[in-house]
Amino acid sequence: MTEPTLNLTKHMGIFGFTGSGKSMKAGWMFEQLRKQKRPFILFDTKVKNHVGLCQMKGVTLLQIAPGKTYNWKNALKASKYIVATPVKETKRSDLIAQYEKFAEVVFQTETARTLGIEEAHLWNPSGNVANEILENIIREGRAYNQNLICIDQRIQSFPKDLWSQCATSVICKMGIPQDIEYLTRLIPDFAEQNLALPQYGALIYDHTTGQITGTLHPDQIHRITKHYG
């Protein structure tokens, strides 16, 4: 099957429980961004999850170590394509604090870039309160040609102020009854369409029309780099 066409320069959410293939799909999308020569930063929370993307020409690995000071403006100038990861010793809270500083610099310098946010729930205070810098980018970043691709496990824990600004959501096959019930209230016929999805498949939801506009099948995902997630 041919690869689907997704607008990766508009705000997007990718949702699915652990093992549903959401990070595999996210990595594939960032491969497409590199092919399109679209600058990006992928903020990962795992040591090796997306490091395979650095096999592509010009993609730089930026490791976040505890107690280290970073010049984020210099990092932006040094590479158009960045995969940021923790080292094993980096605490999650310290990692997110560093990532927030980097994202803030991107926003304040009006740098055109796609920002990938793995485990987006770690950035947000709660499912009802959005992270301030993510909210700034998702509301105002389009003026600077900035967009977010947020990757998370559950739409229920993703702030509605962020989700409402997305153009597209890629919703992996759901197996938790509470999630299916929740999404059925938002999306017509979700339960039926979710049931028909193959394992590792996903539905493409258009926020403008409020409809499912396509299906992303596993055999449409042709990775050119190794995925470690």
The answer to whether position 166 is within a domain reads yes
The answer to whether position 1 is within a domain reads no
Q: What is the pLDDT of residue 4?
A: 66
- Kindly report, residue by residue over 168-185, the tens digit of the pLDDT: 999 999 888 888 898 999
Give me the CATH number covering residue 203: 3.40.50.300
pTM (2 decimals)? 0.95
- Burial (CB < 10 A; 0-12, 13-18, 19+), residue 73, is middle
SS3 112: coil
The answer to whether position 6 is within a domain reads no
The answer to whether position 228 is within a domain reads no
- Burial (CB < 10 A; 0-12, 13-18, 19+), residue 218, is middle
The tally of domains found in the chain comes to 1
pLDDT band at 151 (very low <50, low <70, confident <90, very high): very high
Q: Which structural domain range is residue 69 located in?
A: 12-220
- Kindly report, residue by residue over 32-58, the tens digit of the pLDDT: 999 999 999 999 999 999 999 999 999
Alpha-carbon dihedral sign for residues 97, 16, 41, 140 = negative
SS3 134: helix
Alpha-carbon dihedral sign for residues 95, 125, 13, 15 = positive
